[in-house]
Structure 1
Amino acid sequence: MKKGIVYIWITALAIGIAASSCTKDFADINTNPNASPHALPETLLSPALVSLVNSNLNRAMRISNDLMQVSVTVSESREFHRYVIRPTESDYMWSNWYVQLTNIRDIYTSASLTQQTGYQTYQGISLILDAWVTSMITDMYGDVPYTESNRGKEGIIQPKFDSQKDIYLDLFNKLDTANVLLAKNVDLPNATTADPLFAGSANKWRRFGNSLFLRLLMRASGKAESGAVAKIRKIVNEDAGNYPIMTGNEFSAVLPIGAATPLQSEFALYRDLDFSGGKGYSEFFINNLNAWIDPRLPKIATALGLGGGYLGITSGYGTGNAPEIMSTYLNTLKTDPHLGNIMNYAELQFILAEAAVRGYITGTPKTYYDNGVTNAITFWQATVPTGHLDKEDVKWNENVSQDEKIEQILLQKYYTLFFTDFQSWSEYRRTGHPVLPIGPGVQNGGKMPSRFVYPINTQATNPVHYREAANAMGGDNINAKVWWNKPD
């Protein structure tokens, strides 16, 4: 009981939303030393990345994969595949994201104070990671604490909630600033351990930041007030020389997690039964890969019987009608570094393909699409089969409607986002693609949930600002639309 209370208060303090009765002595006792403003940035970066990627993997497996029909859980107690998300699910990611956001912002402050070699690069890295983490928070909840968040040390313990529109516009500013800082091209000294993502390469961090910029701009592109379309055009066509982006898989942002510490995967210590038991791949996920004769299948899924084929099961099955599990996750995925994906080159190519189809940029959609398909396969160290891009279910079709082209792009992108936090779910909410079958037991009126509700702890410790945010969102429920998903 006491451990549970301490955990709640530590989390609330890190986010800056602890109750006003939280005393200074309590805060001093329970402050995470890694979050100290005096900590050097190189001591904060790697632990923050590992924590974030592993937290994302945990919930991708538990929630997002089932919602998006990657997998299907056969336990009746977990109904995500039926579009049921209970309020108790909201706290885990909120807490983990906000705690690491404190460390990320401390990287910026510490770099400013120390003025050591590469401090501008650490500042740029901090801004990119701030944009990444904050975008996940606001995409999954909507209006959230931002300008006053993570400021408990300043006495702000009940922060206001900012509108998602304002948050996105400020994230764009942060990514622009990061691009300028990293243009100085100062690599981090002795950063192989401190920076497990890009080993201190300012150039790779800059390309990741601008590619992430395009992800967020595309997400906001349906809102004219965001200015996203003009910015996409500027980055890709008008001022590309000043906005370098990923140009190959070697620039992908993938944390090389595995079996050993300090880069130990979330799943490394799972028993095989806990990882691959109790759920199987869905029919939708497996059937497309079967149709494409996709070489990624043997790298991620178990084959059945002597024939070595792959089968999925029905998502959204009715209560009491759990199907027999067929193909499951390969247990080698538990320590596969590909699951450390934050953003890869193939995703960027599909973003550019969609932008070209919508007329946001010049360029040939087929070229971007083909690059995406090819690099999504080679990302997994698999060989692209001869004639793969000419297969009936793979080849680019210029003679269909815009919506059908978007479906083709987003279907391929769906597989590229395998185990990548909640990106596939966010893309589905934004576009309605890929089109997913609706099972007979699906609830929530057959509608894909639009967000997480606010955590119960937040409702209790910041009630005034919580109610303001809930009213602004149109109600605190899983069907309330976030800003970029609301119809004009």
Structure 2
Amino acid sequence: MKKIFLALLALVALGAPGCKKFSEFQTDPNKSTTATPDLLLNTVEQSAFQSTSLNVALAIRQMAVTESASNYQYYGWTRGDFSNYNNLRQVIKMEQSAATINKPEYLPLSKFFRAWYFLQLTQNFGDIPYSQALQGEQNQTTPVYDKQESIYLAILDDLKAANGLITSGTPSVQGDIIYGGNMQQWKKAINTLSLRVLMSLSIKANNTTYNFKQRFADIVNNPAQYPIFGSNADNAQLKFYDLDNDRYPYYNDNSIQTAYYMEETFVDMLKQLKDPRLFSFAQKAPNHSSAADNDFTAYGGIKGSDPVDVNAKRQVSGEISRINPRFYSNPTNEPSIAMGYGELQFILAEAAARGWISGSANSYYQNGIQASMSFYGIDQAGINSYLAQAAVQLSGADNIQKIITQKYIASFMNSGWQPFFENRRTSFPTFDVSGDGVLNNKRVPKRFLYPQTELQLNQQNVNDAIKRQFPGGDDINATTWIIQP
């Protein structure tokens, strides 16, 4: 009996370590069960800085599609979406996670990305949920809509605060795929974004209540406190790698190879300016396949405003150019620039031309062209030859038009919706609506309609916002505060 009792004790002893709940076996002890700020930062950056979009290329008349009638191309815009609020939730989680483990160095990045995503949202729609947004955990599921004016001011304040949070002693962050954790680089990006935001408010420049011109000059005139991009090496851009989920977004994409073509007005612009970037953007038309690669006459396009059947016939004729094969055959191709040194130089050129800052508008302008052409692989001799042309040089009366046109050319397959916002603000360049395919009474829209989900789940607040802004209702042609004189 004693032997049996001892044997039972031994079995109990052996079994004791295994007396766990079943759920405990589902957790890998070697892996974190909570999202750390470095992992969240990586995710946020990939989403924010992937700024390459064929839909944008259609909307801004750089590309055209022949297989179907795209609403982006023909301006039959409908309801947008609030998906960027999901990205903002990731930013909030990153901030909370960093606070939990006492990593305050992530806070300025949180402010940057809050500004980044809220800016995109308000640019697309007008008034949006801001002060009560992202409070679902506090049972705030029907947030009020803040005025676009107050959102812009809050964005600028957030960016100024983010700049102040980064000092020479701020430690590097982990998980940073853009700048490798270098916080001084992020300081430049923060202030460069501030200048982009301030220039987007140029229509409000003479309103002394806001004093946007002075805020712009304060940044430019104090580089020690407000450093900004100094070369292409500072670009806020997403690089691609020949790895699963890290390749160029249109690598091996069948549609871009077979149905997307260069847009005629864009190609003609480049041909008239003898712009060698055309050879980096496009391939020769089939009818001119034996011509030299640098023969401008070998390239053509279709009008984005023409109906699908008209463009399809021109496609069959062999007279139009597809995009350069590198955009679908090279898994790494080129980085996706979300905000770059070239754009900054054009912003400074416009500011100088408008009298916001001192300095030579022409020097900034040429720096911007140089940066863009270098990015697209144009050699220095070609750049010098291009800049020497009278049609390219600033001449006075049309300086703003030329600056914005060059910024537009430099945005090919990068910069997200920024070139559309620039056109909405300045009317440059002209987006062709002459063809019979254009919807919306042959007008270029100004905004997207509010999402259907808001009309269903937050009806009172979205309707209040619509009535406050748009007497004619929720309309893609309605004018938001930012572009009202």
SS of the residue corresponding to residue 387 of structure 1 reads helix
Contact 1:256–1:337 (8 Å) recurs in 2: no
Contact 1:254–1:338 (8 Å) recurs in 2: no
Q: Counterparts of 2:271 and 2:89 in 1: how far apart (Å)? A: 44
Match of 1:61 among 54, 58, 66: 54
Q: How far did 1:108 drift?
A: 2.2
Contact 1:354–1:409 (8 Å) recurs in 2: yes
Identify if the C-alpha distance between structure 1 residues 284 and 220 changes in structure 2 by more than 3 Å, giving closer, same or farther.
same
Q: How far did 1:339 drift?
A: 4.6
SS of the residue corresponding to residue 290 of structure 2 reads coil
Q: Counterparts of 2:333 and 2:85 in 1: how far apart (Å)? A: 25
Q: How far did 1:302 drift?
A: 1.3
SS of the residue corresponding to residue 334 of structure 2 reads helix
RMSD (Å) for aligned C-alpha atoms:
2.0
* Structure 2: 5+ residue stretches without partners: 1-31
Q: Counterparts of 2:70 and 2:441 in 1: how far apart (Å)? A: 18
The residue number in structure 1 matching 2:236 is: 253
Q: How far did 1:391 drift?
A: 1.4
Q: Please, which moves more after superposition, 105-114 or 165-174?
A: 105-114
The residue number in structure 2 matching 1:263 is: 246
The residue number in structure 2 matching 1:83 is: 75
Contact 2:216–2:356 (8 Å) recurs in 1: yes
The residue number in structure 1 matching 2:90 is: 103
Letter of the structure 1 residue corresponding to residue 400 of structure 2: I
The residue number in structure 2 matching 1:139 is: 123
Structure 1 runs of 4+ aligned residues shifted over 4 Å read none
Question: What aligned pairs does 1:391-410 form with structure 2 within 5 A after superposition?
Answer: 391-397=389-395, 400-401=396-397, 404-410=398-404
SS of the residue corresponding to residue 310 of structure 2 reads coil
SS of the residue corresponding to residue 203 of structure 2 reads coil
The residue number in structure 2 matching 1:218 is: 199
Letter of the structure 1 residue corresponding to residue 102 of structure 2: Q
Identify if the C-alpha distance between structure 1 residues 486 and 338 changes in structure 2 by more than 3 Å, giving closer, same or farther.
farther
Name the TM-score, length of structure 1 as normaliser: 0.83
Question: What aligned pairs does 1:229-244 form with structure 2 within 5 A after superposition?
Answer: 229-237=213-221, 239-244=222-227
The residue number in structure 2 matching 1:125 is: 109
Q: Counterparts of 1:459 and 1:331 in 2: how far apart (Å)? A: 43
The residue number in structure 2 matching 1:31 is: none
Max Rg structure: 2
Q: How far did 1:145 drift?
A: 0.9
The residue number in structure 2 matching 1:294 is: 275
Q: Counterparts of 2:255 and 2:435 in 1: how far apart (Å)? A: 27
Q: Deviations over 1:34-64 (max 9, x none)?
A: xx9953210101112223344x53xx312x2
Q: How far did 1:168 drift?
A: 0.6
Q: How far did 1:393 drift?
A: 2.3
Q: Counterparts of 1:297 and 1:322 in 2: how far apart (Å)? A: 21
Q: How far did 1:456 drift?
A: 0.8
Q: How far did 1:365 drift?
A: 0.5
Contact 2:326–2:333 (8 Å) recurs in 1: no
Q: How far did 1:469 drift?
A: 1.2
Q: Counterparts of 1:262 and 1:79 in 2: how far apart (Å)? A: 28
Q: Counterparts of 1:210 and 1:327 in 2: how far apart (Å)? A: 39
The residue number in structure 2 matching 1:338 is: 334
Identify if the C-alpha distance between structure 1 residues 185 and 71 changes in structure 2 by more than 3 Å, giving closer, same or farther.
farther
Q: How far did 1:152 drift?
A: 1.0
Number of aligned residue pairs: give it.
430
Letter of the structure 2 residue corresponding to residue 260 of structure 1: L
Letter of the structure 2 residue corresponding to residue 330 of structure 1: N
Q: How far did 1:418 drift?
A: 2.1
Contact 1:50–1:263 (8 Å) recurs in 2: no
Q: Counterparts of 1:448 and 1:124 in 2: how far apart (Å)? A: 37
Q: How far did 1:134 drift?
A: 1.1
Contact 1:70–1:285 (8 Å) recurs in 2: yes
SS of the residue corresponding to residue 224 of structure 2 reads helix
Name the TM-score, length of structure 2 as normaliser: 0.84
Q: Counterparts of 2:169 and 2:239 in 1: how far apart (Å)? A: 23
Note if 1:321 corresponds to 2:310: yes
Contact 2:67–2:308 (8 Å) recurs in 1: no
Match of 1:413 among 378, 399, 407: 407
The residue number in structure 2 matching 1:434 is: 429
Identify if the C-alpha distance between structure 1 residues 185 and 350 changes in structure 2 by more than 3 Å, giving closer, same or farther.
farther
SS of the residue corresponding to residue 64 of structure 2 reads strand
Contact 2:302–2:311 (8 Å) recurs in 1: no
Question: What aligned pairs does 1:452-467 form with structure 2 within 5 A after superposition?
Answer: 452-467=448-463
The residue number in structure 2 matching 1:476 is: 474
Identify if the C-alpha distance between structure 1 residues 214 and 306 changes in structure 2 by more than 3 Å, giving closer, same or farther.
same
Q: How far did 1:262 drift?
A: 5.3
Letter of the structure 1 residue corresponding to residue 361 of structure 2: P
Q: Counterparts of 1:113 and 1:184 in 2: how far apart (Å)? A: 24
Match of 1:373 among 360, 364, 369: 369
Contact 1:315–1:439 (8 Å) recurs in 2: no
* Structure 1: 5+ residue stretches without partners: 1-35
Identify if the C-alpha distance between structure 1 residues 198 and 185 changes in structure 2 by more than 3 Å, giving closer, same or farther.
farther
Q: How far did 1:185 drift?
A: 4.6
Q: Counterparts of 2:111 and 2:139 in 1: how far apart (Å)? A: 23
Note if 1:70 corresponds to 2:62: yes
Q: Counterparts of 1:319 and 1:200 in 2: how far apart (Å)? A: 47
Contact 2:159–2:190 (8 Å) recurs in 1: yes
Match of 2:378 among 356, 378, 382: 382
The residue number in structure 1 matching 2:439 is: 443
Q: How far did 1:363 drift?
A: 0.9
Q: Counterparts of 1:262 and 1:61 in 2: how far apart (Å)? A: 18
Q: Counterparts of 2:299 and 2:171 in 1: how far apart (Å)? A: 46
Letter of the structure 2 residue corresponding to residue 43 of structure 1: L
The residue number in structure 2 matching 1:205 is: 186
Contact 2:69–2:308 (8 Å) recurs in 1: no
SS of the residue corresponding to residue 348 of structure 1 reads helix
Q: Counterparts of 1:125 and 1:156 in 2: how far apart (Å)? A: 25
Q: How far did 1:76 drift?
A: 4.1
Q: Deviations over 1:417-448 (max 9, x none)?
A: 22321101101001111123332223323321
Identify if the C-alpha distance between structure 1 residues 39 and 319 changes in structure 2 by more than 3 Å, giving closer, same or farther.
closer
Q: Please, which moves more after superposition, 45-54 or 457-466?
A: 45-54
Question: What aligned pairs does 1:104-183 form with structure 2 within 5 A after superposition?
Answer: 104-116=91-103, 119-120=104-105, 122-183=106-167
Letter of the structure 2 residue corresponding to residue 283 of structure 1: E
Contact 2:203–2:484 (8 Å) recurs in 1: no
